[in-house]
Structure 1
Amino acid sequence: MSHRARRLLLAFAAAAFLFLGLVRPAAAHGFTSVVYAHVTADGDGRLRSELKLEYDLLVVSAADAGSDDPLFRAGTDAFEAKDAGAQAKALDAHRATVIDYVTRRFAVTAGGADCEPAPVGGFRMGTEEGVPYALLTLDWTCSGHGTGDHEIRSGLFPDPEGYVEGTKTIVTYAVDGHTGSAALDSAHPEFSISQSWPQRFWEFFRLGAEHLLTGTDHILFLLALIAGSLRPREVVLAATAFTLAHSVTFLLAALGLVDVPAGLVEPVIALSIAVVAGWHLWRLRERGERAAVLPAPETSRLGLDRAGWTRLGVVFCFGLVHGLGFAGALGIEAAWSWTLLWSLLVFNIGIEAVQLGFIAVLFPLLLLLGRRSPRAGRWVTGALSAGVAVMGLAWFVQRVTGS
């Protein structure tokens, strides 16, 4: 084995172990749940909440799953049988237990006073993204109604229960002339219905920013784009193509016009990471050590050769899939109100802000390194791409096999 080949193998192994050691091996979206709540007022001092909760998660959380609990037995049997009628019947048979669990973690207040919940009708069943959801309607009697200061709190399916991580509660509301939406999680478990539009803007902006920061697969894809771009023009075009593509599918999913199973989206996202990272390794090999740090021959006004245009097309296609992943983070699969759609656009802006921040910080550093020491720049971007490619392939296998 040549000295160059040994160095390449060493760099590849180092990058692989670095990413395997520092990056979560789990899917970025595979262990979360979304609760949907729609809150309205009836004009008689009561609020009505229509809750949608993931069925199997509700069963194991409300029941004592560590014992021979009758709710756990009946609920899991109905879930495995995929019988919606049996699922609703199991919840109704243990109505007090389930409602007690929900109302201890989801609450409405008015003027600082707790509203009293009362169930309306029995449990109904529906689906969200192909997953069974239980529908529960609660009426809340509020002694402080009319104060204009209603608050919604949600701590449903918290991390300490150990079943899921990072549960989000998406709330839409139309109460006393106030309409809008909010996204609640463990870090921000409550909001006021009378909040101003800048507060609503910030909530979804923050949620979008946090999603990209904590979505390891999207971060790695972005790193692959940055490492594989030799000039500012290339990274700008690649980031623009990615943004346009994921914005298209994100909005289509929000409008209910696109419905792709997460079981297909997640493996393709993982594969996209490996392909885009591997593309840079291929370019380094094809161009050679000297050509790898020189501009590609310009064949268009945008300064891209045929390989550059091909890469841009690949990035755009994979960006379409990432948009479905972003939408899946909020469980989007149906047409919602324009108010909520506006909030989702703000969510997307939060994603873009973090994306631009990464590019603004990391790419100039790589560019400066490449200009001062072309060889070092080549090895750094090559090692970075190799590590990203390894993680992408590992995740692809993990998500396809379900391991």
Structure 2
Amino acid sequence: MKFPVPGVPPRELVPALALCLLLLGASVQALAHAVAEGDKGYIQEIAGINLLPFVYLGAKHMVTGYDHILFLFGVIFFLYRLQHIAIYVSLFALGHSTTMLAGVYFGIGVNSYLIDAIIGFSIVYKALDNLGAYQRWFGVQPNTRVATLIFGFFHGFGLSSKILDYDIAPDGLLPNLLAFNVGVEIGQLLALGAILIAMGFWRRSPSFLRHAYTANVVMMTAGFVLIGYQLTGYFVS
């Protein structure tokens, strides 16, 4: 999609700048996105099947996982029909659920700095896709559904790396993992609902495309910030 980028009066930029600051602030919080010490201590003290605590932890992780939310925000940015939104969100859920469950159950360790850098790259990728960069640069449009599924796999490994930090007891592991995944999906639906409500109001603005261009540029910047932070942590750790 090509955006018009004419001069925009400062007053019209206020909503876009507010959204951009929100996205940038979310990305800064995402830099410290990790397992809360209180949650980690609680999980390490319990054993057996504890479905409700793991549902809560899964929902909390997704709602506070601003890197996941930023990617989801980019995925649905130009989706208007609920049918299309459901398809893409389902592909993302399928991807991250598969690798999250497999990663924890089989103990597949992935360096958290590298996987979080890839998650940051997924945000950059989607922002560039929304800006129509691939069509202008390469004359092709990547398959957005396949990309959403593939990046969902990486987001799932990001989730599994956080779960492994919990050091969950093997007793009742599979039911607890499934409960955590249910919580993740609940959190994703809550985040999605909030995004769709906000987007519904924003899209009614006559200057939506100009604001959308700015928002995607800042979302891309937030992704680069995440990549740089995680790669720096990898090389200095």
TM-score, structure 2 as length reference? 0.77
Q: Which has the higher contact order (CA 8 A, sep 6+)?
A: 2
CA–CA distance in structure 2, aligned partners of residues 241 and 22 of structure 1:
24
Aligned to 2:208: 377
The one-letter amino acid of 2:28's match is: R
Q: Which amino acid aligns with 1:7?
A: V
2 CA distance for matches of 1:264 and 1:248?
A: 19
**Higher helix fraction: Structure 1 or Structure 2?**
2
> Following the alignment from structure 2 to structure 1, what is the Cα–Cα distance between the partners of residues 45 and 166?
15
Which residue is equivalent to 1:162? none
Letter in 2 for 1:250: M
Corresponding residue of 2:119: 269
Q: 1:277 touches 1:385 (CA, 8 Å); kept in 2? A: yes
Deviation at 1:214, TM superposition (A): 1.6
Residue of structure 2 equivalent to 1:93 = none
> 2:95 touches 2:153 (CA, 8 Å); kept in 1?
yes
- In structure 2, distance between residues paired with 1:279 and 1:211: 27
Shift of 1:236: 1.3
Q: Is the 8 A contact 2:202 2:208 kept in 1?
A: yes
Q: Which has the higher strand share?
A: 1
- The secondary structure found in structure 2 opposite 1:4 is coil
2:96–2:152 CA contact under 8 A, matched in 1: yes
What is the 5 A alignment of 1:4-403? 4-7=5-8, 14=17, 16-21=20-25, 23-24=27-28, 27-29=31-33, 32=35, 167-171=40-44, 180-181=48-49, 200-256=50-106, 258-282=108-132, 307=141, 310-331=143-164, 337=170, 339-363=172-196, 365-367=198-200, 369-370=202-203, 372=204, 375-402=206-233
Contact 1:19/1:391 (<8 A) preserved: yes
- The alpha carbon displacement at 1:242 in A equals 0.6
Identity over the aligned pairs, expressed in percent?
26
SS in 2 for 1:259: coil
Deviations 1:31-81 (A, max 9, x none): x47xxxxxxxxxxxxxxxxxxxxxxxxxxxxxxxxxxxxxxxxxxxxxxxx
**In structure 2, C-alpha distance between the alignment counterparts of 1:339 and 1:21, rounded to whole Å:** 38
Q: Cα offset for 1:320?
A: 0.6
Indicate how the Cα distance of structure 1 residues 389 and 326 shifts in structure 2: closer, same or farther if over 3 A, else same.
Answer: same
Q: Distance in 1 between matches of 2:174 and 2:146?
A: 28
CA shift, 1:265, in A, is 0.6
Q: Unpaired runs of 5+ in structure 2?
A: none
1:152-195 superposed Cα distances (whole Å, 9 cap, x missing partner): xxxxx67xxxxxxx64442476xxxxx615xxxxxxxxxxxxxx
Structure 1 length-normalised TM? 0.48
Contact 1:262–1:328 under 8 Å retained in 2: yes
Structure of higher CA gyration radius? 1
Matches of 1:18 and 1:334, distance apart in 2: 33
Corresponding pairs, count: 225
CA RMSD of aligned residues (A): 3.6
Residues 323-371 of structure 1: CA deviation (Å, up to 9, x unaligned) = 111112222699964612211111111111121123234325534654x
Structure 1's unaligned 5+ residue stretches are: 34-156, 159-165, 174-178, 182-199, 287-305
Give me the whole-angstrom Cα distance separating, in 1, the residues matched to 2:215 and 2:125.
14
Distance 1:320 1:336 in 2: 24
Distance in 2 separating the partners of 1:257 and 1:220: 27
For residues 32 and 156 of structure 2, the distance between their equivalents in structure 1, rounded to whole angstroms, comes to 14
Give the Cα separation in 1 of the matches to 2:110 and 2:192: 29
